[in-house]
Amino acid sequence: MTALLTLDHLGVRFQSADGAAHSDLVESVSFALQPGERLGIIGESGSGKSLTALAILGLLAHPLVAHGHALLTTPSGEVDVVTASQRRLDGVRGSVVSAVFQEPLASLDPLMRIGKQLAWPLSHHRGLRGDALRRAVLDALVDVQLTNPERIARSYIHEISGGQRQRVAIALALAAEPRLLIADEPTTALDVTVQAGVLELLQREVEERGMTLIFVSHDLPVVAGITDRVLVLRGGRQIELADTTTLLTAPAATYTQTLVAASRQLDAFLPTIEGAS
Ligand SMILES: Nc1ncnc2c1ncn2[C@@H]1O[C@H](COP(=O)(O)OP(=O)(O)O)[C@@H](O)[C@H]1O
Ligand SMILES: [Mg+2]
């Protein structure tokens, strides 16, 4: 089977304008992701998770520069995101790879009604027009379990809640039917009460659509619940890559052992405080 995504010594460097100063923020990340596979990227804050995700999306901007290779298999051949032209990237984003970020406002336009924002990818990628397009917009909103889709479609982003916004951002990311979805801490900024619902929704969409997933989080139990394999980053370096069960039961790297032990302690601790309240 051909890998959908192959990272070959992918790195991200901070490069000052005159080229005099530089620092390596991500170094030499390598893995191959098969179609339908669900990979977690875990690491503490600042470990390079988001920069890795942005590099795969071709979304890094000066002074950040990617090096190495990030090869995406697309219907029109292989694209190296690191070196691809803007035009080639525009053709890949949305339909081949799409993303949901921690902050839904990162992908949503505050000045455009939600229905109109969804209509664009639906018409562009699926060629829908008129009534069929209107129906597809409402269907997309129903699909992410938003009730009263007509009202949501007419609303601006400031008129709905944080949980609803992230559902809209997910609908937008799915609109062009991407093969690979990158979710970067998609529930971290949400109220605890709505986190589980959004996570469940993501998991269901990935399963139903047979999508390939990269799920980025600092939260090991959340990552473990949704992925087949996990990549551990620390200080921009790849520490370990293992299937999820192995990582949880027999972590090889000392750092991963610490992460697993810490999340176990939390597990043991939580029932105690819940029981006490
Ligand atoms: N635009 C930027 N300019 C300089 N340094 C950055 C920039 N964005 C991120 N960094 C640094 O790169 C490192 C990795 O960041 P990031 O990938 O966002 O971490 P996280 O694992 O929390 O997602 C951090 O030390 C961060 O401070
Ligand atoms: Mg991040």
Within-domain flag for 166: yes
pLDDT at 17: 82
Each residue's pLDDT tens digit, 150-184:
999 999 999 999 999 999 999 999 999 999 999 99
Within-domain flag for 92: yes
Name residue 114's amino acid. I
Task: Check if 50 has its Cβ closer than 6 Å to any atom of ligand 1.
Answer: yes
- Assign residue 79 the CATH number of its domain: 3.40.50.300
Within-domain flag for 73: yes
Tokens 């339908």 -> residue? 36
Give 272's pLDDT tier (boundaries 50, 70, 90).
low
Token pair for 175 = 């609109």
pLDDT at 19: 78
Tell me which residue has its CA closest to atom 19 in ligand 1.
Answer: 46
Within-domain flag for 102: yes
The domain tally of the chain equals 1
Within-domain flag for 35: yes
Within-domain flag for 231: yes
Non-local (6+) Cβ contacts of 72 within 8 A are 4, 5, 78, 79, 80, 81, 92, 96, 97, 180
Q: How many Å apart are CA 71 and CA 85, to the nearest integer? A: 14
Distance 152 CA to ligand 2 centre (A): 29
pLDDT at 268: 66
Within-domain flag for 277: no
Residue among 10, 24, 25 to mutate when testing ligand 1 (max atoms within 8 A of CB): 25
pLDDT at 240: 97
Average confidence score pLDDT of the chain: 93
pLDDT at 263: 87
Each residue's pLDDT tens digit, 114-156:
999 999 999 998 899 999 999 999 999 999 999 999 999 999 9
Domain that holds residue 130: 5-272
